[in-house]
Amino acid sequence: MPNSATRAVIVGGTQGLGLAIARQLLDEGCSALVISGRDEAKGEAAAAELSRSGARVEFVRADIAEIGDCIGLIEEAVKRIGSLNGLVNAAACCDRGGLLDTTQEIWARLMDTNARGPFFTMQAFVRHVKAEGRPASIVNILSMSMHCGQSYLAPYSASKAALANITRNTAQAFRKDRIRCNGIACGWMDTPGEDATQKRFHGASDNWLAEAEARQPFGQLVKPTEVAPLVAYLLSPRSGVMTGALIDCDQNVAGAYPE
């Protein structure tokens, strides 16, 4: 199978897109996975479900906003499943804030989770892979908001733009080590996290998803099961030498204007 040799860590792999990616990798024959998140009960339940595939799936609790957890996650993953060759950064904080109402605390939380956390997780991962002397692949989940974003997403958009740069810089830096790094900029996505965000920050009703999808060009939001195969492709040898790519995965085209 295309991902039969994959031994990966999925940061934020206990729900939403991260969990869909884990399922996709296992469907493609992945031999071992570590999923991480902050909620231990949710993480253990997800690992138990995924383990029914017959593969080895371990949950490691980690708060990606904490640098110690970033480094410790990779170290613990190696202890549990051995040498790694894949990393997916899918965890994110989506708190709202514009230029005038963003507090220092909100700015720090978004940057720590969405940019600093992936940076130091990648650092620990690349150090491990270089020491092993083996090729590897990293996929960072970005956002279409990295191109600009709504006014109430100023720090979120900035954090994803930072991660986009980190993605390309890492790709450039480690080409000769055969460590690839790519990013996927997802559009508005239908996930449990987005449901919670809409209700928490926008007072959305239980019917918000149907109303939102009715307004979209394709009559839907992006679905995790549509993005997961792309992540699996980028992790696998099928994507060849592809590195430094930032792929927009949305029904709206960045830079386009109404005609």
Tokens representing 168?
A: 């390309």
In 201-229, which positions are buried (b, 16+ CB within 10 angstroms) versus exposed (e)? eeebeeeebeebeeeeeeeebbebebbbe
- Report the percent of the chain where pLDDT is more than 90: 95
What's the domain range around 129?
7-187+222-247
pLDDT the model gives residue 247: 98
Total-model pTM? 0.96
Give the pLDDT band of residue 259 (cuts 50, 70, 90).
confident
pLDDT the model gives residue 153: 97
Is 196 a member of any domain? no
Is 25 a member of any domain? yes
Average pLDDT over residues 164-177: 98
Is 111 a member of any domain? yes
Query: Count of CB atoms within 10 A of residue 16's CB?
Result: 21
| Predicted confidence (pLDDT) per residue in 115-128, tens digit | 999 999 999 999 99
State how many domains the chain has. Answer: 1
Is 27 a member of any domain? yes
CATH number for 26: 3.40.50.720
| Predicted confidence (pLDDT) per residue in 2-55, tens digit | 677 999 999 999 999 999 999 999 999 998 999 999 999 999 999 999 999 999
pLDDT the model gives residue 215: 96
Q: Is the pLDDT of residue 1 over 70?
A: no
Is 113 a member of any domain? yes
Is 258 a member of any domain? no
Is 257 a member of any domain? no
* Cα 153 to Cα 146: distance, rounded to the nearest angstrom: 10
| Helices 117-132 and 67-81, axial angle in degrees (round to 10) | 40
Is 99 a member of any domain? yes
